[in-house]
Amino acid sequence: MELTYECRSCHAVDRVDAVERAEVLKCPSCSETRPVMASSFDAGGLVACAACGTDDLYWQKDFPQGLGLAIVILGFIVSSVFWYYNRPLMTYAILLSSALLDMVLYYRVPNVTICYRCLAQHRGVGSNPESRFKFFDLAIGERYRQERIRVEEHRRREQDPQSNSPLPPS
């Protein structure tokens, strides 16, 4: 299974192949190391995040959202041109073909399992055994987003004790 994660110190992104056999995660930029959570794996596959150990994970399709949106917009624009020139069969054919392309991509593109806490991405065989993890849950995502904001504010105050102003809203 492949793990893509962000270094906690320098925020560099790194990728580790076969993370279930790795013992430590070492940042190539700043050389910070942290252990791979051995309890994150069992015989069935992934049970928790290998980078931070939390068991709050979700899955989504491993496809760039911008590309999917571009396909939909392009299909709409081209079909609108044909509709303008009073060519309804071509209009419907283009709309149908873009829907079929979307369906084919949905079934062909693999899934990626993502950690709510550290946003590490787990790919490959065993990353979501028996559909153990569900789709993104907004309530859980917001809880961890607020946690990241508080941690960042705490770090900033440690670096600059004179500053007491809160972070700007995001």
Token code pair at residue 136: 């993104």
Contacts for 166 with CB less than 8 Å, ≥ 6 apart: 153
**Pair 58, 69 in one domain:** no
Domain of residue 78: give its range. 65-108
**Pair 37, 20 in one domain:** yes
**Pair 52, 126 in one domain:** yes
**Pair 114, 53 in one domain:** yes
Distance between CA 53 and CA 49 in Å, rounded?
Answer: 5
Q: 71-88 in b/e burial notation, b at 16+ Cβ within 10 A?
A: eeeebeebbeebeeeeee
User: Helix-strand-coil percent breakdown of the chain, rounded to 5?
Assistant: 40, 20, 40
**Pair 88, 55 in one domain:** no
Q: Rounded to the nearest 5°, which phi and psi values hold at 121?
A: -110, 130
pTM: 0.79
**Pair 87, 158 in one domain:** no
Q: 127 with 111: CB under 8 angstroms?
A: yes
List the pLDDT tens digit at each of the 170 positions of the chain.
Answer: 899 999 988 889 999 998 988 889 999 899 899 899 888 888 878 999 999 989 999 999 999 888 888 988 999 999 999 999 999 999 999 999 998 998 899 899 999 999 999 999 999 888 887 778 999 999 999 999 999 999 989 988 888 877 665 555 65
For the chain, the domain total comes to 3
* H-state helical runs in 34-128: 65-84, 88-108
